Amino acid sequence: MDNNFVELDLAEGHSAKVCLFGATVTSWMNDGREQLFLSSCSKMDGSKAVRGGIPLVFPNFGPWDNGPQHGFARISWWKMINNEKADGIAKAQFTLKENETTLSMWNHKFQILYDVEIKPGTLRTSLTIKNTGGDEFDFTTLLHTYLRVPDIEKCMISGFAGTRYTDKVSKQTDRSEDREEIRISSNVDSIYCNTKEHTLKGPGVDIEVEKYNLPDTVLWNPWIQKAKEMSDFDDDGYKKMVCIEPGYVHERKVLKPGEEFICSQKLSVVNGHQSSI
Ligand code: BG6
């Protein structure tokens, strides 16, 4: 399905790839090194959300009474409306608006613009969500970013200390996080509220995650058993990834007719440090 991919080609070793199915960024190469995790058994034919890269969650994070888990954005076909390179930046813009399928689940008119931008050392992804209908609506949204790491057990992730969170694995709500740096060695699925920026550091990886208008962060690694249970996830893929997912999920964002909401994340490879994978 090559026609379904858009390439952002900045310079030798600096590129990104976006699948029109879900407007999912499936690859971010920085200085010749891949920074995103993409499962080798991910469906890439539009039959299921892409397992890896940056799937877009909208209009609902998690299980949804009206439709599939994480909403329809990641399983909709998006249109590319721009792809250009200028002043050391390669960028592309994608759009999604209501259609028969989305209206059957969520009876609201909307337009989303999704901007993907790379320059050496950084990837920025930004959503502009507009209410184009006559009624107010509410939603949750999230950038479900799968970061690639050489060895998750040797990584430390910061940016959560002092926040409240829900631990979906132990089913405990309103927990308090006191760890300055989190290490992962089991199934982790936590929704943190009011986080700031994050760092992901370890041998061969040094990434910074900055976010705008995305107050919360979901931290996820399925670990051994859950990885095996997912047909589109490599059995040992859990060792090579962590999802740090900036989102607006703790509360629902309300948009009145005509209003828009802009949010973004910026991923940076720190000090030109390169992943060795
Ligand atoms: C995370 C959720 O954001 O996404 C997890 O917190 C979920 O509970 C994970 O398992 C993957 O979801 P999916 O629908 O892509 O399998």
Domain CATH for 76: 2.70.98.10
Ligand 1 pocket, mutate which of 38, 193, 220, 245 (most atoms under 8 A from CB): 220
Domain span at residue 64? 5-150+212-266
Percentage of the chain exceeding pLDDT 90: 96
Average pLDDT score over residue span 94-121: 98
Domain count, the chain: 1
Peptide bond into 246 cis (omega under 30): no
Mean pLDDT of the chain: 96
User: Using one digit for the tens of pLDDT, what is the confidence trace for 224-274?
Assistant: 999 999 999 999 999 999 999 999 999 999 999 999 999 999 999 997 655
User: Using one digit for the tens of pLDDT, what is the confidence trace for 170-208?
Assistant: 999 999 999 999 999 999 999 999 999 999 999 999 999
- Is the CB of 216 inside a 6 Å radius of any atom of ligand 1? no
Residue 133 covered by a domain: yes
What is the reported pTM?
0.97
| Structure-token match 């888990």, residue found | 69
Which amino acid, 191? I
Residue 100 covered by a domain: yes
Residue 31 covered by a domain: yes
Query: What's the pLDDT score for residue 272?
Result: 64
Q: Residue 260 C-alpha to ligand 1 middle, in angstroms?
A: 26
Structure tokens at 55: 């799937």
Atom of ligand 1 nearest to the CA of 69: 14
Residue 224 covered by a domain: yes
Supply the residue whose CA is at minimum distance from atom 5 of ligand 1: 189
Task: Examine the pLDDT at 275 and tell me if it is beyond 50.
Answer: no
Distance CA 40, CA 90 (A): 26
CA-closest candidate to residue 195, choices 177, 216, 220? 216
